Structure formats: C-alpha cells, structure tokens
A = this chain, B = another copy of it.
Amino acid sequence: MSPRINAQLAFLNEADRLKQVLRATTLVDGSRRENSGEHSWHLALYALVLADHAAPGVNIDRVVRMLILHDLVEIDVGDVPIHSANGQAHGSEATRAAEAAAADRIFGLLPPDIGQDLRALWEEFEAAESPDAVFAKSLDRVQPVMANLMSGGGTWVEYNVTAEELESRVGVKVARGAPRLWEHVRGLTRAFFAG
C-alpha cells in the first residue's frame, strides 16, 4: 500500500462532499437548488465555451483548473450567497478566515507537493488579481445570472435584488474579466428588471 496513493484517494473521497453543498441558485429549470460540485463542472464548461471573451494572454487551462478547485472550501464553510445579508456576507473577513482554515484542512489531505500546487491556484483565484483569476471570477458571477434568467428570477426574487444591486455586486465583476459578455447578458436582464 502506497501512502501517497492513499493520500490522493482520501482527498478525492473527501471532495465528494462538495456534491452535497447547496447553493442559493437553482438549476436552469428551477427544479431544485444547484450543488457546488455540479456548479464547478458547469463553470469549467463555461470557460471552454466562452474562451474568446477572455483578455489576451489568459490561459484557459489554468482558468479551468481554478474553477474545478474554487469551491472546495465550501465543504467546511458552506456556500455564502452573493445577495444574502444585503450583499454583506460574501467576502466578509469572517468568511475569508473560515475559508482559509478549510483550505488548510482540505488541501492538507494531499501529498504536500500536490496540495501546495492546488492551494496556490485557489489563493490566486481568491485574490482575483491575475488575468486568469479575473476571468475565472467573471464566469463564477455570470453563471448564476443565466440560471436566474432562465428560471424566472431565482435569487433576485428571493433576496429582492434591484438592477442597481445586480450591477454593483455582479455586473462590475463580470465586466472586469469579460466585458462583451456582460454587455450582452445585462441586455438580457433588462426585461426581468423592467417587469
């Protein structure tokens, strides 16, 4: 028995729990809430399909890797909806500290060389400064917009979100990494917020 393979498999078994972390957003058909595992898959597909919206020099394969990893800390912390607590809970100091502790535990299950590489990618995503991370964040913000549009409003209804709040909490960050995409999707949201 190889301790290294045991550590790799222990991490992958633990990661399975992300399939049970529920997000505020529903599936496109509104039938149930989305979990963070399938959300991460959908975002990786977003990156492959919307690659032509990324800034020059963005490495889509690194973006995909970030998106696969980006929510693992939610196994311990849960999902913090972007529009909850009037938009104040997401990204708070308390949330960030809990997520860092979760990253210590979860990436710490891996052999150190692998754990350090994946942890570094997660931290790059969280920092949202590198071009790859900025594009990854854009996709993470735009995918729930599409789900809300398709399902009749979703979390916008649940949290009484206005067009201005959508722009400041979501649109600005989508536009930062994928400006043409946000211009298009914002156009799609007008009918909902005019209604």
Beta-carbon contact of B64 and A65 below 8 Å: yes
Chain B contacts for A147, CB-based, 8 A: 16
Interface size class of A (residues with CB under 8 A): 35 or more
Chain B contacts for A41, CB-based, 8 A: 18, 37-38, 40-41, 44, 68
Chain B contacts for A64, CB-based, 8 A: 44, 61, 64-65, 68
Distance, CA A17 to CA B180, complexed state (A): 26
Consensus secondary structure, chain A interface = helix
Q: Is A181 an interface residue, CB under 8 A from the partner?
A: yes
Q: Quick one: which of A11, A150, A184 has the most chain B CB within 10 A?
A: A184
User: Which of A46-54, A81-89, A90-98, A166-174 makes up part of the contact surface?
Assistant: A46-54
Chain B contacts for A141, CB-based, 8 A: none
Beta-carbon contact of A5 and B181 below 8 Å: yes
Chain B contacts for A9, CB-based, 8 A: 146, 185
Distance, CA A18 to CA B38, complexed state (A): 9
Knowing A35-B38, A44-B41, the reply to whether A49 touches B114 (Cβ < 8 A) is yes
Q: Is A22 an interface residue, CB under 8 A from the partner?
A: no
A1-28 CB contacts (< 8 Å) to partner B: 1-2, 5, 8-9, 11-13, 15-20, 27-28
Beta-carbon contact of B68 and A12 below 8 Å: no
Chain B contacts for A13, CB-based, 8 A: 28, 146, 150
Chain B contacts for A181, CB-based, 8 A: 5
Q: Quick one: which of A8, A19, A35, A114 has the most chain B CB within 10 A?
A: A19
18 contacts between A and B (CB under 8 A): A1-B184, A9-B146, A15-B45, A16-B27, A16-B28, A16-B29, A16-B42, A16-B147, A20-B27, A20-B29, A20-B31, A37-B37, A37-B42, A45-B69, A48-B65, A48-B68, A61-B64, A64-B68
